[in-house]
Structure 1
């Protein structure tokens, strides 16, 4: 039949896009006053976040510096520190830098902060949220 429209389909439930991820640094950022900051947030990276650092002279001189500049763009807060810049990222402990690099990869490539792990005693596999938080929180 010409001119007959298909019946409307029920709308699919909208999926909420998570753009910020809370984390807890393993060691913590120590500010100039000696205060340790561990809890923070990272946002999803945009194409611009990945392109702009490539024009940065520090990155051109040392490709390894790309991580520092990129994390400074996407980490929005570490404790009370909301002005997260390359100098802050440079002063993180190596364990915290590695943690943020892994978190960045997980949220921007895989879309989540869960990692598959296995119990060393019984071998049972399960997922844990590597973004941090307190024990027992979901």
Structure 2
């Protein structure tokens, strides 16, 4: 069972590894303060602040398909749609502690949470 600090997701496109295997299903954990601070010392971030997101995501994604060890090089190989999805997913789970969003029914005005974990959101 995945603890409350880890959240499954499905990439819209998927990461294609060097062997041509497609990886779409993954797990992201909540970020720690150190996860957000440590990349600031990395020379790649100092030379290009846009690289921060790649390092940060490589720290908090604990699994992607059959890959259990991710690094910034893997993140560099993501399609733009997948990177955008992961940035949004990271923000959502770290802001609210859940993968879903609260919505209101336009007819009965009842509020409920819709889990957004994958493609087609």
Secondary structure of 1:32 counterpart: coil
Runs (4+) of structure 1 exceeding 4 A deviation are: 116-119, 123-126
Q: Of the candidates 62, 69, 78, which is equivalent to residue 92 of structure 1?
A: 78
CA drift at 1:117: 5.4
User: Structure 2-normalised TM-score?
Assistant: 0.85
CA distance in 1, matches of 2:114, 2:100: 5
What is the count of residue pairs matched by the alignment? 114
Give 5+ residue unaligned stretches, structure 1. Answer: 1-16, 134-138
CA drift at 1:127: 3.8
Q: Which moved more, 1:85-94 or 1:123-132?
A: 123-132
CA distance in 2, matches of 1:117, 1:31: 36
Q: Does 1:103 align with 2:107?
A: no
Higher share of residues assigned helix: 2
Give 5+ residue unaligned stretches, structure 2. Answer: none
Match of 1:74 in 2: 60
Q: Does 1:52 align with 2:45?
A: no
Higher relative contact order (CA 8 A, sep 6+): 2
Give CA-to-partner distance per residue, 1:17-41, whole Å, 9 cap, x none. Answer: 7111111101000011111010000
CA drift at 1:116: 4.3
Aligned-residue Cα RMSD (Å) equals 2.0
Larger radius of gyration: 1
CA drift at 1:76: 0.7
User: Structure 1-normalised TM-score?
Assistant: 0.75
Match of 2:5 in 1: 19
CA distance in 2, matches of 1:86, 1:118: 38
